[in-house]
Structure 1
Amino acid sequence: MRLRKRKLVAACALALLGFGRQAAAQAQSEAAPVADEARTVRVAGHYDNAVGTSDAASQGVITTELIVNRPALRTGELLEFVPGLIVTQHSGDGKANQYFLRGFNLDHGTDFATYVDGMPVNMRTHAHGQGYSDLNFLIPELVQRIDYKKGPYFAGEGDFASAGSARIRLADKLPQGQASVSVGQHGYVRGVVADSFSAGSGTLLVGLEVHRNSGPWDVPERVRKYSGVLRYSQGTQDDGFSVTGMAYKNSWNATDQVPLRAVESGQIGRFGSLAPSDGGDTSRYSLSYAMRKRTDNRLFELDAYLIRSQLELNSDFTYFLANPQQGDQFQQSERRTVAGVNASESWTMELFGLPLRNKLGVQARFDRLSPVGLYNTVERVRQSTVREDRVRESSIGLYGENTVQWLPWLRSVAGVRYDAYRFKVDSSIDGNSGSANDHVVSPKLSLILGPWSKTEFFVNYGKGFHSNDARGTTQTRLPDGTPSTPVTPLVPTKGMELGARTEWLPGLQSSLALWRLDIASELLFVGDAGETEASRASRRHGIEWNNHYIAAPWLLFDLDLAASRSRYTENDPAGNYIPGSIDKVASFGVTVTDQGPWSGAFQLRYFGPRPLIEDNSVRSASTTLAYARVAYQINRKTRVSLDVFNLFDKRASDIDYYYASRLPGEAAEGVNDRHFHPVEPRSVRLTLSYAF
């Protein structure tokens, strides 16, 4: 088994070292409009970012080898494998992560669209935040690949995809059954079992995960997580289907961000809490169907899904600022049903001797929330209702895309999409019920030049959008009775990019992208307060440099660097910096495989400082973290691995905010202060895996 793996890795390395002309030619052929769209992906280390495989320098594929070989502290860190993307947490591990990319503090997912097997992960009109993207239901061992794109240049990507998107694909079949048990400090225990086997004329895949963790926090987190996957698939990638059921349930206590002054005064420790009853519980159940049908020159694809989810989240960020007697804890709650379908037809043809590929698609989605609410609570017990709404939100997106190979060295991809939304809100606040409609047209254009000397160049332009919370589209007054202006339902964005990708150095895949993204003036609905907040138009631009190098069949390096500048474009005396906007990101990784029974990995991640208020007078510190893994193959079936997180035991922040809060005895107006959530201290996890 190990010999076969060595041969595979060696073959990949040889292809990249200049002996793979046939493979390179095949890749170019596959990129042409007349190519077979169900191409076989060349496995090139951790990424498949070879010349001829994409329509933008910032587009790529993350292979299962990276997911398997690199340690991850949390499930959501799967997305941190996307170059330039940072994944953090400011609360408990049952809550969606905080994401940063391309000058954005993406909050919990706004402007970065995530999908699992065609199902949207981003939840619109969410109780906690628009585009809320919770990946905790995933079992990482079942992820086959992640296709990522950045920028609004792709006709098939709609809502929330202005900064980028990631499409996570689960496996239909496992090479062998697997069972693993992980144990670590602070009560960490995780067990996974997964297998696939023949069932009738198809394959049945089963996966189960149980997870317990209390974390380093003074108030034990007490994560209680269960995840399950059951998938039946039949046929091939070109002509087949799958039916997948997924179930997930989680409950936890949360230590949210705390004010710096409380730690410096000794009132609480670094891992302490001022709101010990914060936390929540959530669940997600889904049923999905996917099929592909290919004829001579056509490909039909269909995804359909039904999702039922629930969340109750209890938070307290300001303590005694709003309610000096009982405290400021609030609960955000929702019950949601999502149904949707995606369908597309692709075909190839020739026109005036030019090879063309055409694609038409439709994406429809319906969200029903009964209800979505915001409540004042004391120790998770509801005291009063701030607002409670029943929402119906529906959308349809139509798109078309045309690819033309004008010359052997020039390809164009032109597309356009049309999105229409309808919002219907039944609110507990008089004057906030009603309906709203909006639509947006988003043209796209990409030019791909080359390759010359194993180097190609990209010019990309596109318009996109993100939807706003349905409750804001009909809101005429705030919960306190103050008049309010409804928000813009669909907020347009515009992006452009110049890029290059090269393999001129044997063994190296390298890409460089210069990008810009503009967002129109908008009003935002803030789920934490149940009201709107003004936001100005903004512009972000930056540079990304990504490198993936196979130095030897057993040695791989990854180096990703990104820098960006983010500003409001409408001047304001308060300042034009965008609070929380990411500035610099760096990631460096080394993977060693097949050194006898030994293997290992090292990952270093730098998260640069950020402005915390508009005049840039308060900034966060930078955060540098290192992860490491050492693994030993005991025998053909048994493997043991040791993961170390925060290897150098850095005292840093996962995230920082600056706002007013009030502790007992402080002035009624509170104190403006830095609030931070610390990174977890150095911790060790030991995993025993068995293949069967």
Structure 2
Amino acid sequence: MNTFKLKLTMLSAIIFLTVQAAMAQHIFKGRVIDNVTHEPVEAVSVYAGVKSTATNASGNFQIDVTTDTATLIIYHIGYQKKSVRINIRERVVIGLDRGAISLNEVKITPHLSANPFYTLSALDLSIRPVNSSQDLMRLVPGLFIAQHMGGGKAEQIFVRGFDADHGTDFNVSVDGMPVNMVSHIHGQGYADLHFMIPEIVSTCDFGKGPYYTDKGDFTTAGYLNYTTKDAVDRSMISLEGGQFHSYRVAGVIDLLSAKAKQNGENAYIAGEYNYTNGPFQLAEHYKRFNLFGKYTKQLGQNNKLSLSASTFSTSWIPSGEIPERAVAAGTTAIDDNGNAVKLPAAANIINRFGTIDSMQNGKSTRVNAIAKLSSDLKNNWSLENQLYYTHYTFKLHVNTTFFADDNENGDERYQNETRDMFGYNGKISKRSYLGNSTLISTAGIGDRMDRTYGNIYTGVTQTYQPLEVISEGDVKENNANAYLDETLETGKWLLNAGARIDYLHFNFHDSTQNKAVISPKINVQYTANEQIQFYLKAGKGFHSNDARAVIGNNGLQILPAAYGADLGLNWKPVPRLYLNAAVWYLYLQQEFVYTDDGTIEPGGKTRREGVDFSARYQLAKWLFADLNINLAKPRLVGEANGENYLPLAPTFTSTGGLDFKFKNGINGGISYRYMHKRPGNENYTLTADGYYVTDLKVNYTQKRYELGLSIENLFNTKWNEFEAEEVTQLRNESAPVDQMSFTPGTPFYAKLRVALFF
């Protein structure tokens, strides 16, 4: 009996303490918006004493306080800090005003969804002036880009020890819509971002490694996602003009009134037209036209609809790559025995900016449409549904070997494809509060369907008459996926674990192959205090093979896996200095190499290891410094030392600069890009030269107008933007030569800008 009484007493005590704890917990819910656009602001830090939280994509937050009333401290990069007295019986909407950037107020918190790069991205996008899609891509620390066949092609991407071609190992998206093209006629994962108008970009979200459950195909080296603005704070028209007969006209027009914004309705259109002849002796006649429109509507308190559409078209005449011997005597080549030999200058010496094949040209178009409905459901559930559609065309005449294969007609190649891409992304999330801990549970599903038409890769004569067909046939490819993700925030710890499954179906010439892959991920983050945070990331990712190679190889090497790990930290040793550093490792079951004959070849197993370091320092209220250093050791696995280099893979890169913003409206920055020399082939008998290039931007910004000057290659450095090993034969040569070919980098290039705001 005494035992029964003891148990009853203990149970009563537990119930009493639980009720008291529940009564002591006061939950306050609120929402944070931008005071100008009335749009929600994501990832805002909200503090109530020692407790903190962050807003979600809808601007909503929830925090428990110890009393019925409390004072919240709210801040976000690019906004003025705000103090708000709240009452838990009232759900309030808190508006933030734009303000100066202050690293002193940036705190390291555990509430940024396990993304250690969020602060870096927000700082860089807020401070640095950008006016092109290339500028936007360079916001990713350690990411380098290059053009080698005219400005109309997708950029060549170099990151984390990868020559990722045009996107084979780097996932690129805009508003959740894929940019990478699977089974593209010019390379697997081809990611042409030129349809992006820089003035409408709201956020730049990036991550390195294969650690993210919502990112699938091509996410081996990392991912990059841009979000366009839901609303603009003002209309703008911009005129630019510069050397090489270059000019650009751009505009953003706000279509609705301030009253409509207050009611949660926004609409705007944006457009741009670019033209340049480039620095080449053969005028490039590069033309690009973009048009974008977006409409958002708050449907009641808990639903938001977003509709956007865009169209893009471009055409250009590239000068292309030229072999070293065509412009200089005594250059190095490789003989039949693999030995380096010196060559005399070619008989037809040309200028570095000259052209060997003037018949090369390209055209491309892309039309996009996206519809998204975001819903805040009851009991802390949220739901997102997104549909997207793309219609795409691509045509290219290209010649990188000249007469090495066909001494009579030349090696001109013609590539053509038309594509329709349909897709769906769905995600449901639940935020649960377990005492002082928060559990975010997310489940997602998606499907992507690509249908290509008129695919052909063929040789042509110098008058574009067709020769032997290299590859021909339409492709049908589906990628269905699903993922589960759990994130637990408890005290100083953030624990994230998840897994995704991708199922791919390939169809080429009425032959099919199917393959599924499961990719687990785990991320651990420990925030010791507001000054230092440690993280460990590990996971598995993949990059898919081209459907033509999959069918041709009877299903071999369809979805080779990538295994990676990062160990890093975010640190503020002093109030105005922010550091991010990581050591990392990545292993690929198969490297894919895109060849000149339009096929994907297996490159073997590879491993990469390296160190990333980034620093952001505010020297004064108006002056900011940045530095990125990226080291990598990329190697083939299973090959002898000295024969295991990865051609063109970067080993040491660095970017940095100074950015300034004065109260009188003068702003801008000076920056550098450095890429160390790297192997040109597997045994390093050929070398891709390094370079160091400096750029300058200066603006004078007032309420109604802005004047700007930008200079690329300020010191007129002689550099090569792209280099690659090619077996080439010029018209007057008797045999092919194995040698580096290059595309020269832009010389000193200045342009002026005038913008009007209204």
TM-score (norm 1): 0.89
8 A contact 2:109–2:527 mirrored in 1: no
- Please show how residues 277-676 of structure 1 align to structure 2 within 5 Å: 277-295=359-377, 296-350=379-433, 354-379=437-462, 381-384=464-467, 385-405=469-489, 407-426=490-509, 433-452=510-529, 454-475=531-552, 487-521=556-590, 524=592, 526=594, 528-572=596-640, 575-633=643-701, 636-668=703-735, 670-676=736-742
Deviation per CA, 1:572-613, whole angstroms, max 9, x where unpaired?
588101111111111112111125242221111111211111
Match of 2:319 among 255, 266, 271: 255
Partner of 1:164: 222
Question: Does 1:218 pair with 2:301?
Answer: no
Amino acid at match of 1:404: L
Distance 2:430 2:540 in 1: 25
Match of 1:94 among 152, 160, 163: 152
Deviation per CA, 1:648-667, whole angstroms, max 9, x where unpaired?
10001101112211012323
8 A contact 1:68–1:141 mirrored in 2: no
Partner of 2:125: 66
Partner of 2:245: 187
Amino acid at match of 1:506: P
Higher mean C-alpha displacement, 76-85 vs 370-379: 370-379
Distance 1:103 1:530 in 2: 24
Deviation per CA, 1:329-361, whole angstroms, max 9, x where unpaired?
101110000000101001022569853110000
Name the SS of the counterpart of 2:225 in structure 1. Answer: strand
Task: Tell me how far 1:529 sits from its aligned partner.
Answer: 1.4
Amino acid at match of 2:576: G
| Greater relative CO (CA pairs within 8 A, separation 6+) | 1
Distance 1:357 1:215, change over 3 A: same
Question: Does 1:233 pair with 2:329?
Answer: no
Task: Tell me how far 1:386 sits from its aligned partner.
Answer: 2.1
Distance 1:66 1:487, change over 3 A: same
Match of 2:202 among 144, 155, 160: 144
Distance 1:67 1:619, change over 3 A: farther
Question: Does 1:267 pair with 2:349?
Answer: yes
Question: Does 1:55 pair with 2:98?
Answer: no
- Show structure 2 runs of 5+ residues with no match: 1-35, 37-43, 64-73, 80-100, 329-344
Distance 1:639 1:664, change over 3 A: same
- Please show how residues 96-115 of structure 1 align to structure 2 within 5 Å: 96-115=154-173
Distance 1:30 1:153, change over 3 A: same
Identity, in percent, stands at 27
Distance 1:491 1:118 in 2: 24
Distance 1:260 1:491, change over 3 A: same
Distance 1:459 1:274 in 2: 50
Distance 1:56 1:332 in 2: 39
Deviation per CA, 1:129-163, whole angstroms, max 9, x where unpaired?
00001011111111111111111111111101111
Name the SS of the counterpart of 2:560 in structure 1. Answer: strand
Task: Tell me how far 1:60 sits from its aligned partner.
Answer: 5.2
Name the SS of the counterpart of 2:649 in structure 1. Answer: coil
Distance 2:512 2:593 in 1: 16
Distance 1:369 1:536 in 2: 29
Amino acid at match of 1:521: Q
Distance 1:379 1:651 in 2: 31
RMSD over aligned CA atoms reads: 2.7
Partner of 1:208: 271
8 A contact 1:564–1:582 mirrored in 2: yes
Distance 1:467 1:550, change over 3 A: same
Amino acid at match of 1:399: Y
Amino acid at match of 2:734: A
Amino acid at match of 2:276: N
Distance 1:24 1:688 in 2: 47
Distance 1:64 1:330, change over 3 A: farther
Amino acid at match of 1:257: E
8 A contact 1:56–1:459 mirrored in 2: no
Distance 2:476 2:49 in 1: 49
Distance 1:299 1:21 in 2: 20
Name the SS of the counterpart of 2:543 in structure 1. Answer: strand
Distance 1:49 1:218, change over 3 A: farther
Task: Tell me how far 1:570 sits from its aligned partner.
Answer: 1.3
Task: Tell me how far 1:373 sits from its aligned partner.
Answer: 1.4
- Show structure 1 runs of 5+ residues with no match: 1-7, 9-15, 427-432, 477-484
Task: Tell me how far 1:62 sits from its aligned partner.
Answer: 2.7
Amino acid at match of 2:666: W
Name the SS of the counterpart of 1:77 in structure 2. Answer: helix
Distance 1:578 1:46 in 2: 42
Partner of 2:66: none
Distance 2:437 2:459 in 1: 64
Amino acid at match of 1:448: Q
Distance 1:525 1:21 in 2: 48
Number of residue pairs matched? 654
Distance 2:500 2:363 in 1: 37
TM-score (norm 2): 0.82
Partner of 1:480: none
Amino acid at match of 1:247: T
Partner of 2:31: none
Distance 1:638 1:332 in 2: 44
Distance 2:727 2:222 in 1: 32
8 A contact 2:626–2:657 mirrored in 1: yes
Amino acid at match of 1:203: N
Distance 1:599 1:463, change over 3 A: same
Task: Tell me how far 1:519 sits from its aligned partner.
Answer: 0.2
Higher mean C-alpha displacement, 456-465 vs 50-59: 50-59
Name the SS of the counterpart of 1:474 in structure 2. Answer: helix
Higher mean C-alpha displacement, 381-390 vs 363-372: 381-390
8 A contact 1:58–1:513 mirrored in 2: no
Task: Tell me how far 1:58 sits from its aligned partner.
Answer: 4.7
Question: Does 1:124 pair with 2:179?
Answer: no
Amino acid at match of 1:643: S
Name the SS of the counterpart of 2:473 in structure 1. Answer: strand
Task: Tell me how far 1:77 sits from its aligned partner.
Answer: 3.3
Task: Tell me how far 1:282 sits from its aligned partner.
Answer: 0.4
Question: Does 1:80 pair with 2:138?
Answer: yes
Distance 1:122 1:67, change over 3 A: farther
Task: Tell me how far 1:552 sits from its aligned partner.
Answer: 2.5
